[in-house]
Amino acid sequence: MHRQPVQSTALQSIGYDAKAKILELEFRDNGDVWQYFGFTQSAYKKFIQSASLGRFFVEKVKGKYPELKING
């Protein structure tokens, strides 16, 4: 999946596959890449438009979607 670099203290890059509903995040602190499943396009739009990507992740994504670490 192709990820775009983002301006965030927590995240390095973000990718999204609308067809598969998969959000892919690369974390800045350790370089880990995680995928989150069942992530709707409307949720993705809210995520990328949020004032703080890190805060949105902690409050709305982490622990709320099935997840898989794909590296490290």
Global pTM reads: 0.94
Number of separate domains in the chain: 1
Query: What's residue 71's pLDDT?
Result: 85
Residues 6+ away with beta carbon under 8 Å from 13: 3, 4, 5, 6, 25, 26
Contact 35, 22 (CB under 8 A): yes
Render pLDDT for 27-67 as a digit per residue (tens, 0 to 9): 999 999 999 999 999 999 999 999 999 999 999 999 999 99
Domain that holds residue 52: 4-69
